[in-house]
Structures are given as structure tokens and as C-alpha cells.
Chain A
Amino acid sequence: DAMVIQNPRYQVTQFGKPVTLSCSQTLNHNVMYWYQQKSSQAPKLLFHYYDKDFNNEADTPDNFQSRRPNTSFCFLDIRSPGLGDAAMYLCATSRDGENEKLFFGSGTQLSVL
């Protein structure tokens, strides 16, 4: 089945220790998104790629970076995680960035110790 896959499902890191979260998709969608979601809150868009075009949300901290080396893969790098970065990180795709629905991966729950 075509899908969006996130690894790992749970990630524990130490305060200040860089961490990378990964996402892959077999849907061949043009757009890939990274969202941060904290408990009982709305998902917060961090970045999205339309094909190779990178779009950074204005309020995304510099501590967060992203890479999309090809259509299938996208990575979220957190350079120096703080306690406030503990959250669920959701990767999603859509065929285009307009009226298409989003397909989400299972998410990575990040804990910062």
C-alpha cells in the first residue's frame, strides 16, 4: 500500500544533542510537510516543500532545519533540542498544495531529557 512512513516511532534525545527525524513516502506526492503537535493543541506547520521549493514558516525557530534530497524522503533536523521541543512530529504529504487532502505518517514522539 502506498503510504507515508516515519521513523522512529519514539525518539529520546538529550538536551542539546542533535536529532534527525525521517519521513518517506510512496505516494509520489509533490508536497511534503513537517508539523509539530503538542498535547491537545493544533498541529503547527514548521516547513513544507513543494517539490524542491522549500517554504519555512515565519515563526519556525532556527533550531529546526529540513532537507528533502529527493521526492520520496524528507528529514527534520533539530540542532539543539530544548525541553520545549518535546512533541509529536508529524510528516504529511499531498499531491498538490491546494485542495488536496493531507496524508499523515504515524508520527514521531520526541522526548527531550
Chain B
Amino acid sequence: GQNIDQPTEMTATEGAIVQINCTYQTSGFNGLFWYQQHAGEAPTFLSYNVLDGLEEKGRFSSFLSRSKGYSYLLLKELQMKDSASYLCAVRDSNYQLIWGAGTKLIIKP
């Protein structure tokens, strides 16, 4: 079967750095997405990786290693508004989007 694994919950301090990991086992690979979802709201797009390496976008960066079936989302200079769930999703060989259950990130002052 196809599977995306992410930690259920993480806690970090305002101003700090946090890394959210995602491992996947899918039938083929056609790209990996990270979405942010605040409680009771819809997911919003953060990043897309299809090649190995690091993609940086402001305070957020996303890394991909296809050989390891692994990605992480790095959030720097954490702000209280970053408290949300972070969803990892992978497109498989049929371009089906396989979603993880999300990592709930709690930011403390």
C-alpha cells in the first residue's frame, strides 16, 4: 500500500527553528507538496519539490531525497501564527495525490 508518515504533533518556541519530517512509500514519485492548514480552515500551498535538494522560500524551506523517500519542512524564526498543521502530500506514478495526516505544530511564547 501507499503510505505517508509524519509526526502527529510537535512543539517549538517562538523565534526558534523547527524541522518537520515526512517519509513516504508510494507507487512511483511525481513530486512532493507541503501545505499549511490552520484549524478549521483549508490547506494552503507552501512548497513543491520534484528534484533532490533544498527549496528555500523566505522563512520556509523544503528538502527532498528521492532515494530515501524523505522530505522535511524547515521553519525558521517561528512566529505564533505558524501554529498550524503541516501536511505532506506525494504524487504517485498515476499522478494520484497521497496525503499524510499532518503534523500539528504548537508554538509557545
Contacts and interface: CB of A to CB of B under 8 A. Distances in A.
B partners with A? yes
Interface of A: 40-43, 45, 88, 90, 97-99, 101-107, 109
B42 A90 contact: yes
Nearest to A44: B99
Contact of A43 (B40, B43, B50, B96): B43
A42 B101 contact: yes
A40 B43 contact: no
Contacts, number: 48
Nearest to B48: A101
A101 B104 CA distance: 22
Given A42-B87, A42-B102, A99-B31, A104 B42 contact: yes
Contact of A99 (B8, B41, B50, B101): B50
9 contacts: A40-B104, A42-B99, A43-B99, A99-B50, A99-B91, A101-B45, A102-B45, A104-B43, A107-B42
